[in-house]
Amino acid sequence: MTKREFDKIFKNEVLPQVKKNELNTIDKPARRQAYNNSVDFYTKDGILTQKQFNNFIIPNNFLTK
């Protein structure tokens, strides 16, 4: 899986759930945690490699919209 594919899944499936819990403000720590947890889950499930685990970081636009 590429970073682009992973980010698309995160944006469409995980980020909307995180946004539901936000109260009139962007919760950047919660978004970072959700992204990191997703990367961790995909790595443990064998979908991402350890190298990808070490290099995937949340895109800035996920922290501002």
The pLDDT, as a whole number, for residue 65 is 81
Of residues 39, 33, 28, 37, the one with CA closest to residue 61: 28
Spell out the domain ranges in the chain: 3-20+27-63
More confident residue, 49 or 65: 49
DSSP 22-65: --SS--HHHHHHHHHHHHHHHHHTTSS-HHHHHH----GGGGT-
Model pLDDT for residues 4-41, shown as the tens digit of each residue = 999 999 999 999 999 999 988 999 999 999 999 999 99
Q: What is the pLDDT of residue 3?
A: 98
Cα gap 35→7, rounded to integer Å: 9
At residue 35, the pLDDT reads: 98
